[in-house]
Amino acid sequence: MSDLLELSHVDAAYGPYRALFDVSFTVPEGGAVALVGANGAGKSTVARVVSGLVPVTRGSVRFAGRDIGGLAAWRVARLGLAHAPEGRSVFATLTVEENLALTFRRAAGPRRTPALLTRAYEAFPRLGERRHQAAGTLSGGEQRMLTLARVLALPQRLLVVDELSLGLAPVVVDEVFAALRRVLAEGTSLLVIEQHVPRALALADRAVVLVHGRVVAAGPVAEVADAISTLLPARATSLSPAEGGDESGRAPGPEPGR
């Protein structure tokens, strides 16, 4: 299996604050990699580097054989790399369907929009039931679904997903991970950043462990399981996806330095 994404000796910083140190790992074509670590480890910074939101200060990021380290985020997206950041971002006064259609028309054109809407509603039936409801009146979990549906319904070569379960009820998390398994089965590669490690490991083939912005373990899930249990706090490896929030989306904010 060839590598679709390759980070090689990557450093990154926010102004004077250095967040990543010599980070190297790969995501194989058609595979799933779980990027795990404690709060402040730099997981979200890796996602932002990959998607072009944070510049690389040293090293390289290659996608499908092309160096993308200096590309603007919109150019990276056009190559087939999508980033679903943590939190939710919707147009509150527009309906569910209007939110989806705006994204699909821009990305794929009006002819493909009806098929993409159908795909989104198949992934998240609850959104189909609320298609004519204003997005701002949805629960926090439903708004998160809507944010994800705008990304998951569009075929991509690589999908970077950041903290999907943060603040969501278990039933909502189940639906989200079921949707991820479907896109993975369809051939989309995944880089999954997830606060509840067992969820991510159950989906992934490989895992990368970050500690203070450095990769300290990487490889097949079975080979790094011991390192994960040793390096991460017990709370991070517990099977409690709704801990720290509820379906309304009320949860602790992102940790500094992510």
Q: Note whether 90 and 49 are same-domain residues.
A: no
pLDDT band, residue 89 (cuts 50/70/90): confident
pLDDT band, residue 194 (cuts 50/70/90): confident
Name the one residue in this structure whose structure tokens are 């708004």.
143
Structure token digits, residue 232: 């991460």
Phi, psi for 36 (deg, rounded to 5) = -125, 160
**CATH label of the domain that carries residue 8:** 3.40.50.300
Q: What is the pLDDT of residues 150-182, one digit of tens each?
A: 888 888 899 999 987 777 778 888 888 888 998
Structurally, the chain folds into a number of domains equal to 2
Structure token digits, residue 151: 């990304």
* Listed residues 130, 155, 180: the one ending a domain: 155
The confidence score (pLDDT) of residue 85 equals: 81
The confidence score (pLDDT) of residue 63 equals: 97
Q: Note whether 21 and 65 are same-domain residues.
A: yes
Q: What is the pLDDT of residues 137-151, one digit of tens each?
A: 998 888 888 988 888
Q: How high does pLDDT run on average in the chain?
A: 86
Q: Is residue 121 part of a domain?
A: yes
Q: Note whether 116 and 97 are same-domain residues.
A: yes
Q: Is residue 184 part of a domain?
A: no
Residues in CB range of 130: below 8 A, 6 or more apart:
96, 138, 142
Name the one residue in this structure whose structure tokens are 């989906």.
203
Cα separation, 60 vs 79, whole angstroms: 17
pLDDT band, residue 256 (cuts 50/70/90): very low
Fill in the DSSP letter of residue 95. Answer: B
Q: Is residue 242 part of a domain?
A: no
Q: Is residue 237 part of a domain?
A: no
* Listed residues 155, 177, 192: the one ending a domain: 155
**DSSP characters over 109-157:** -TTTHHHHHHHHHHH-HHHHHTTTSBGGGS-HHHHHHHHHHHHHTS--S
Q: Which domain holds residue 10?
A: 1-33+42-80+157-161+206-220
Q: Note whether 28 and 1 are same-domain residues.
A: yes
Q: Which of 103-107, 177-181, 233-237, 248-252 has the lowest mean pLDDT?
A: 248-252
Q: Note whether 9 and 64 are same-domain residues.
A: yes
Residue 117 has pLDDT above 50, yes or no: yes
Q: Note whether 3 and 63 are same-domain residues.
A: yes
The confidence score (pLDDT) of residue 88 equals: 67
Q: Note whether 18 and 54 are same-domain residues.
A: yes
Count CA within 13 A, CB hemisphere, residue 244: 16
Q: Is residue 178 part of a domain?
A: no
- How is the beta sheet containing 189-193 ordered, strand by strand? 81-84, 158-162, 189-193, 32-37, 206-211, 214-220
The confidence score (pLDDT) of residue 61 equals: 98
Q: What is the pLDDT of residues 24-58, one digit of tens each?
A: 999 999 999 999 998 889 999 999 999 999 999 99
Q: Is residue 197 part of a domain?
A: no
SS (H, E, C) 26-86: EEECCCEEEEEECCCCCHHHHHHHHCCCCCEEEEEEEECCEECCCCCHHHHHHCCEEEECC
Count CA within 13 A, CB hemisphere, residue 241: 19
Q: Note whether 58 and 121 are same-domain residues.
A: no
